[in-house]
Amino acid sequence: MREGPGRAAASVPSRTLLGVGSLVLMALAQLSAASDRFLLTLVTTPVKQALALSDAQLGVLHGSAFVAFYALTMPLFGSLADRGHQRRILVASIAIWTLATLGFGLAGSFWGLCLSRLALGFGQAGLAPASLSLIAHGSVPRRMAFNVSLFTASGSLGQSCALLAGGATLAWLAGRGGMVFPGFGALSPWRALFVLACLPNLLLILAAIRLTPLRAPPAHRGGLRPAWAWMRRRWRLYLPHCVAAACAVLMGRTLGAWGPTLYVRSHGMSPSESGIVLGLLLLIGGPLGHLSAGLILGRIDRARRRAASSRMLGLGLLAALPLAVVMAVVPDRTLSLTAFTVLTAMLGLTAPAAVTGVQLLTPVALRGRVSALFIAGVTLSASGTGPPLLGLLSDTVFGADHLGRALITLFVLVGCPGIGLAFHAARLSSHAAHLSSHAAHLPTFAASVFSAARRRTRTRPDR
C-alpha cells in the first residue's frame, strides 16, 4: 500500500508501532547471527590443525572473507528496507546465513571455507538495515537509543553464546568423538558444531514469516542517491564520528576473533575451556556496556544527545587501551580475565553510541539507507582489516607465541586516532546544536520585534 507523504502523515500513527514481540525477534536474530559468525573463534585451533592453515589465512576467514559481500550488499538491503520490505529481508537473510553455516561445517579446503564465509556475510548483510529501519520507524524518540542498545547488545550476547554454549557443545562432541548425521555421515566435533548451530535458525525463519510489518510512511524512491547526498552535505559531522566508530569496531572485532586463541596460547587453556570462560565473561561485560550506553543516552535531552554519543564513543576507546595492555601481558590469568571483562564492557559502550549518533544525524526516511552505508563502510574498513592484520603481525613480526604483543600494537595504532576523532566529532555536534538552537529562536525574536514596532506605530499620536 503506497500513499503520498501528506496522506501518510495524516493517517499513520507516529512511530509508536514497534511491538515487544517484534523487538524480541530482531534481538534474537541478531544474537543468532553473531553466534554463527563467531563460532569460528571457538574452533580456530582445530580448524588450523585439520586443514593446515596459517594465522594469516585464519585472519582472512575471520575478517575479509566475511565482510566482502557483507559490506557490498548491505546498502542495497538498506534501500529495500526503507521501502518497506523489512520482513522479506529478514526471512531471506536468516535462510541464507543458515545454509552458509552448514556449508562451513562441511567444507574441506581453505577455499571452501572462504566461500561459506562470503555467503554468511551476504546473508547477514540484510539483518541490520531491516532491523534498524524498523526501530527507526517504530520507536518514539526517547526510546530509540535504548531500543538500538537492545539490538546491539544482542550481538554481544550472540558472541557470548557462541563461546559459552558452543564451548560446552564442543566439549560434549569431543567427548563422544564427533557425531553422525543422516546424509552427512560421521563428522568431527568442530564440523558437527556448525551443523547443530543451524537448528535454532529454523524457528527464527518461522517467526520472521509471521512478523507484522509496520505501517510506516514509505521512503521516497531514488535508491541510495538521497542518502549519499545527505551525507555529503554534512560530511564534516559524519566523517569523524564514523571513522572513530570504525576504530572501535576494529578493536572489538579483533578481540572477538582472536581472544579465545590468545588464552589458548598464552594461558594454556583448551579451545572448549577458553570458549566457556570467555563466554561467561562476555555475558557480563558485553550487555553491561551496551545497555548502560542506551540508558545513559536516553536520559540526555535530545539537543545534547548527538554530541553525547560521540563523546561516549571517545570515552570507551580511551578506557579500552590500558585494559587491553593489562589483559594481554599480565601472566596472572585471573587479573587478565578481569581486564578482559571490563574491556568488553568499555567496547560495548561504543556500539550504541556509534549507531545512535548516526541515527540522530539522519532524518527518519533515510535511516535505513544511511545506517546500511555506515555499517557497510565500518565493517569493510574495520572487521575486514583488523583480524587479518593481527594474524599478519603474529606471522611476520611477533610470532605465534606473542599474540598479546601484536594485539597491543594494533590497539594503540588504531585507538589513539579514534579517541581524537570521537571528541572532535562531539565538539562539532555541540557547535551545530548551538547554531540550530539560535536559528530556531530567530523567527520568534523577529516576530516579537515586528509586533512591538506595530504597537508603537498604533499608539503614536497624530501630528
* pLDDT at residue number 445: 45
* pLDDT at residue number 120: 93
Grid coordinates representing 167?
A: 564451548
Grid coordinates representing 328?
A: 594481554
Looking at CATH, the fold of the domain delimited by 16-214+223-458 is given as Growth Hormone; Chain: A; (1.20.1250)
Q: Would the pTM count as exceeding 0.85?
A: no
In what helix (H) or strand (E) does residue 185 lie, and over which residues does it extend? strand 185-187
Supply the mean pLDDT for the chain. 80
Residue pair 87/26 in contact (Cβ under 8 Å)? The answer is no
DSSP at 364: G
DSSP annotation string for 7-30: HHHHHS-SS----HHHHHHHHHHH
* pLDDT at residue number 165: 83
pLDDT band of 93, cuts 50, 70, 90? very high
* pLDDT at residue number 134: 79
The residues near 427 (Cβ < 8 Å, ≥ 6 apart) are 307
Give the pLDDT confidence of 213-265 residue by residue, as tens digits. 665 544 455 567 788 888 888 888 889 999 999 999 899 888 887 888 888 88
> Domain coordinates of the chain in residue numbers?
16-214+223-458
Q: Is the model's pLDDT at 83 over the cut of 50?
A: yes
Alpha helices in 300-402 (DSSP H): 302-329, 333-361, 367-378, 386-393
Residue 189's nearest CA partner among 46, 62, 53 is 46
In the predicted model, what is the mean pLDDT of residues 368-396?
Answer: 79
5: left (phi over 0), alpha (psi -120 to 50) or beta: alpha
Cα-flanking dihedrals φ and ψ of residue 17, to 5°?
-100, 0
Residue 92's nearest CA partner among 67, 118, 132, 125 is 125
pLDDT band of 418, cuts 50, 70, 90? very high
- The neighbour count for residue 170, using CB atoms within 10 Å, is 25
* pLDDT at residue number 451: 59
Rounded CA-CA distance 319/326 in Å is 12
pLDDT band of 6, cuts 50, 70, 90? very low
